[in-house]
Structure 1
Amino acid sequence: MMNIVVVDDERMIRAGIKAMIERKFTEMNVMLAADGKEALDVCRKNPVDLIITDIKMPRMDGMELIEMVQGMEVPPLVIILSGYDDFSYAKQAIRFQVMDYLLKPVDRNELFSLIEKAEEKLDAKSSLQKDKNEYLVNQLNYMLLNPQMNEAKVEEAVQKFRLHQYSSGFYAGIFQFKGSMGTLIKDELFEYIVKQVQQYDGDSLCFVDSYENLVVFTERLEGVYGVFEEDRFEKFGHLGVGISDRQTSMGKLVEAYEQANEALAYQFIFPHQTIFLYEQVKVKKEDNSIVDEPSLQKIFNQLGTDRQNEIRASLAQVFDIEKIKEYKISSLERLSEAVNKVLFDQAFHRIGEESIEVFKLYDEVGDLSNFESVHDYFHAVENLTMRLHEYMKKMQSVYVRENVMDKAIEFIHENAHKDLNMAVVSNHISLNYSYFSHAFKEYTGKNFVDYLKKVRIEKAKKLLAESDNKILEVSERVGFSNSKQFSRVFRDLEGVSPKEYREKSYN
Structure 2
Amino acid sequence: MYKVMIVDDRDIIRTEIKRLKIWGAASGFSISQEAQNGQEALGKLEHNPVDMVITDIKMPKIDGLELLRAIVERNLCSCVVLVSDFSEFEFARQGIILGAFDYIPKPIDANELSCLLTRAKSFLDNKSLEKERIKKLEESQKDTELRLSGDEITVLTSLIRRGDEKSLLGIEQMMERIFENSNKNELIRNAGLLKNSIYDVIKELKKAFPFLDLYINPAIYNGFDDVKNRSLTTLKNTYMEKIENLSTLINLLRLDLQEKGIVKQVCNYILINIDKNITLSIVADRLYMNKTYISESFKQKIGISFTEYVTLVKMERAKVLILKDNLKTYEIAEKLGYKDAEYFSKVFKKVIGLTPTTFRLNHEGN
Using the size of structure 2 for normalisation, the TM-score is 0.39
Structure showing greater relative contact order (alpha-carbon pairs closer than 8 Å, 6 or more residues apart) = 2
